[in-house]
Amino acid sequence: MNSLQNRANAVMAFSISAIFCLLGAIAFSALIIPSSPTGAVALDSIKVVTGRYDKNWQDFKTRNSEFANTIMRIDADLSSLFHWNTKQLFVYAVAEYSTPTHPKNQIVLWDTIIKRKSDAVISKRGLNNKYSLIDVNKKWTDVNANVSLHWNIVPYVGFMTYGHSKASEGYAFPLPSGIQT
């Protein structure tokens, strides 16, 4: 007993258990921190254009796919989500709608990564959607979509958590010729 090997073994085992207890405490304590994030997305304008190409869109087969170009405004205060276990926040705006062929659709319009609490208050106007807004059937006839802000807290250690704001009221998509349905 009390040889160097026994002592080294005991120290290693204890430190590894202590480290894992600390990581567990951080991971589980982060789940019960109260937070009060607020956020809202609103669409100021929607225009539908037909074409073959759009930002980053890679399905070139259809000549007249209908792409919706939106101008958004986003207001959010997510600073209460930053605690000791927050590495970064991934915030994204989602448009949700249903069509006769697919009752549930969700498309991400815009996203950003927030790394500091001081950057967590978002107030943006005149934002274009970062990614193509196009339906599976490539047509926007008779579609009503609501938009909401979602966030994902990326932790240092522990569980990925998600949250979202309330959905906005529905927006009807105009026809490509500009007539509002």
Which pairs with CB-CB distance under 8 Å and at least 24 residues apart come from 111-115? 113/88, 113/89, 114/78, 114/88, 114/89, 114/90, 115/87, 115/88, 115/89
Nearer CB in complex with another protein: 35/105 = 105
131 binds another protein (CB under 8 A): yes
# residues contacting another protein (CB under 8 A): 29
Q: Which residue of 64, 157, 170, 181 would you call a contact of another protein, by CB under 8 A?
A: 157
Q: Which residue of 107, 120, 147, 149 would you call a contact of another protein, by CB under 8 A?
A: 107
Q: Which residue of 11, 12, 13, 23 would you call a contact of another protein, by CB under 8 A?
A: 23
Q: Which residue of 45, 159, 172, 181 would you call a contact of another protein, by CB under 8 A?
A: 159
Residue 111 CB contacts under 8 Å (≥ 6 apart), including other chains? 90, 91, 92, 93, 130
The amino acid present at 55, given as its one-letter code, is K
Residue 41 parent element (H or E): strand 38-51
Q: Which residue of 160, 177, 179, 180 would you call a contact of another protein, by CB under 8 A?
A: 160
Nearer CB in complex with another protein: 81/107 = 107
Q: Which residues of 37-75 are buried (b: 16+ CB within 10 A; e: fewer)?
A: bebebebeebebeeeeebeeeeeeeeeebbbbebebebb
19 binds another protein (CB under 8 A): no
DSSP 26: H
Give, as ranges, the residues between 69 and 98 that touch another protein (CB under 8 A). 87, 90, 92
Strand partners, 70: 46
Least distance in angstroms from the C-beta of 178 to another protein: 26
Nearest Cα to 106, choosing from 52, 62, 145, 49? 145
28 binds another protein (CB under 8 A): no
Give, as ranges, the residues between 111 and 130 that touch another protein (CB under 8 A). 111, 113
Q: Which residues of the chain form contacts with another protein (CB under 8 A)?
A: 23, 27, 56, 58-59, 87, 90, 92, 101-108, 111, 113, 131, 135-136, 152, 154-160
